[in-house]
Structure 1
Amino acid sequence: MSILVVGSVAFDSVKTPYGEAEESIGGSATYFSAAASFYTPVDIVAVVGRDFPRESLQFLSERHVDLSGLEVADGQTFRWAGEYEPNMNDRQTLDTQLNVFADFHPNLTDRHREQPFVFLANIDPELQGSVLHQTIHPKLIVCDTMDFWISGKREALLETLTKVDVLIINDSEARELVDDYNLARAANQILDLGPRAVVIKRGEHGATLITNGTYFSVPAFPVLTVIDPTGAGDSFAGGFVGYLAKSQDTSDTGLKNAMVHGSVMASFNVEDFSIRRLESLTQHEIDLRYERFIDMLTL
């Protein structure tokens, strides 16, 4: 079944210890779709400016990603610039220009409203709520957020969380959301806010899934050289939701399997700048790494 993703398509300028990439294609919807498209068709709803080279997303179209919901507005495309510390976990935002994204108001077509799987990428919780109001009984809703929204749009975020099935969030954001440093307690408190499951991303330490009956962790796949971590979380979400949509198994067991697929896709993403690695990636490479990952997890 298809997935609807609502998020950003952007230009990223990134500097890491391994080099830099200027005005490369990025954005949460881009990374998510590049990963999820290996599992199932994806519909993107996002906005770009007239300066955006639509042909740069041709590879997504060839992977059954529908771009009819990619609005082209007068103005410049969303831009972000950042620099990573040598540990590749800490980064500094150097510049953010929302441009046309500042006036983004997703209007879903009938096709988009009926998609059974929905991923709300890291956008304003008020927009996330607007999208959910337009959907028609989706089978699964997965949501991402960040510290900016936790502090700046808390009430809107809490309202959105009452309507989603899975929240994907990093460890520091989970602690901030419920004001509890203990991650296990924090996760259980997040479940009380509405989601059936919470996935806590822990960077190089992997990710943890918590439901009312499950506590399951997967490590990060060991990548010898991490070139650019930008988009790793969205790529994880792409593998995670992509697997669930393909398998149609949203049980706790299905969520566990989805965690492995998310980790596999994130591990490829960090091997190059921007979406380059996801663009060149093959299904055979994914299958081989998945098998290696399963071997890692098996006694």
Structure 2
Amino acid sequence: MSLAVVGSIALDTVINPFKKAVDVLGGSGTYFSYAASYFNRVKLVGVVGKDFPAKHLQSMKKRNIDLEGLTTADGLTFRWTGEYKFDMNIRETKKLNLGVFADFKPRLPESYKKAKYLFLGNIHPALQLDVLKQMKARPKIVACDTIDFYIKTDYNNLLKVLKNVDICFFNDSEAREISGESNLFKAGKKILKLGPRMVVIKKGEHGCIIISDSWHFLAPAYPLESVFDPTGAGDCFAGGFMGYISSVNKINEEEIKRALIFGTVTASYCVEDFSIDRFLTLNMAKVNERFRDIKKFTHFEAF
């Protein structure tokens, strides 16, 4: 079934102890779309500037990403420069230029307004609400992401968003921030009371948790010997999750668990190279292989 995403498209400069990549393709909407495209066609809503390279547009089109909702505006594309230390969990933003993204007001094409699955990337909560209002029918699943900046600066609108979504994605620090709880299980239960049916809490190299009123499930991160660029891993996680769940006929607890593992898989491939470069050579057979690997190394027989 149809899947739409609203998020940022950016040009990133990423510095790590091994290499520097300049003006590579980035943004939450981008990472989500590449990961989700393994499972479904993705309808992308975003904005770029006149300087956005045509080669990136061609790459997206080849990836089964619908660009009818992508606007090209006068001005420069959103740019971010970040540096990772030897510990890849430590990242410092060196430069940020929002460019045309500063005035971004999502406008959904008519063909997007009946999407059965909708992901609201980590844009301003007021814009997330506006996107919801543009939908002609309530999607089967609405999911959202956010960042700690909006938790601190626009909490009221974020609460309105949470009341209108089925699934929300937080990293561990964001979950603690919005809930006021240090324990992540308590944090998840408290967030459920704000409206969503399920809460996904991402813990980076320590995996993730999904919590609902009646069940919860824990998934490990895929064990990697080399992590090259963690940028966009959380967006790829959400993309793999939503891409898979939008491709199945019936949503139940077991399919949600599978979606969580596919999210883990796509995120694990993302960090193996700069930008979306790993996806350019990654096929579905390799995605399925890593899915089976996770099943194999987490399975055990009970007494």
Say yes or no: TM over 0.5. yes
Which residue pairs with 2:74 in the alignment?
74
CA contact (8 A) 1:36 1:42 kept: yes
Structure 1 residue 60: Cα displacement: 2.4
Which residue pairs with 2:198 in the alignment?
197
Whole-Å separation in 1 of the counterparts to 2:165 and 2:73: 29
CA contact (8 A) 1:46 1:71 kept: yes
The aligned amino acid for 2:87 is: N
Whole-Å separation in 2 of the counterparts to 1:296 and 1:101: 42
Task: Within 5 Å, give how 1:149-228 maps onto structure 2.
Answer: 149-228=150-229
The aligned amino acid for 2:49 is: G
Which residue pairs with 1:39 in the alignment?
39
CA contact (8 A) 1:6 1:121 kept: yes
Whole-Å separation in 1 of the counterparts to 2:97 and 2:175: 26
Which residue pairs with 1:143 in the alignment?
144
SS in 2 for 1:247: coil
Whole-Å separation in 2 of the counterparts to 1:212 and 1:18: 44
Whole-Å separation in 1 of the counterparts to 2:241 and 2:54: 26
Structure 1 residue 296: Cα displacement: 1.3
Which residue pairs with 1:133 in the alignment?
133
Which residue pairs with 1:57 in the alignment?
57
Whole-Å separation in 2 of the counterparts to 1:172 and 1:4: 27
Spell out structure 1 runs of 4+ moving beyond 4 A. none
Structure 1 residue 55: Cα displacement: 2.4
Whole-Å separation in 1 of the counterparts to 2:93 and 2:62: 33
Structure 1 residue 59: Cα displacement: 2.7
Structure 1 residue 214: Cα displacement: 1.3
Task: Within 5 Å, give how 1:10-49 maps onto structure 2.
Answer: 10-49=10-49
Whole-Å separation in 1 of the counterparts to 2:250 and 2:63: 22
The aligned amino acid for 2:5 is: V
SS in 2 for 1:216: strand
Structure 1 residue 85: Cα displacement: 2.0
Whole-Å separation in 2 of the counterparts to 1:140 and 1:30: 20
Which residue pairs with 1:229 in the alignment?
230
The Cα offsets for residues 201-233 of structure 1, whole Å up to 9 and x where unpaired, read as 000001100001111110100111000000000
Whole-Å separation in 2 of the counterparts to 1:233 and 1:77: 22
CA contact (8 A) 1:37 1:60 kept: no
CA contact (8 A) 1:34 1:279 kept: no
Structure 1 residue 44: Cα displacement: 0.4
The Cα offsets for residues 64-84 of structure 1, whole Å up to 9 and x where unpaired, read as 210111100000000111111
Report how many aligned residue pairs link the two structures.
299
Whole-Å separation in 2 of the counterparts to 1:60 and 1:250: 28
Task: Within 5 Å, give how 1:244-283 maps onto structure 2.
Answer: 244-283=245-284
CA contact (8 A) 1:264 1:286 kept: yes
Q: 1:224 to 1:57 in 2, by over 3 A?
A: farther
What are the ranges of 5 or more consecutive residues in structure 1 without an aligned counterpart?
none
For the pair 1:5 / 2:37, whether they are aligned, the reply is no
CA contact (8 A) 2:68 2:109 kept: no
Q: Percent sequence identity over matched residues?
A: 47
Q: TM-score, normalised by structure 2?
A: 0.97
Whole-Å separation in 2 of the counterparts to 1:214 and 1:168: 17
SS in 2 for 1:17: coil
For the pair 1:240 / 2:215, whether they are aligned, the reply is no
Structure 1 residue 61: Cα displacement: 1.2
Let me know the Cα RMSD of the aligned residues. 0.9
The aligned amino acid for 2:266 is: M
Q: TM-score, normalised by structure 1?
A: 0.98
Whole-Å separation in 2 of the counterparts to 1:270 and 1:92: 17
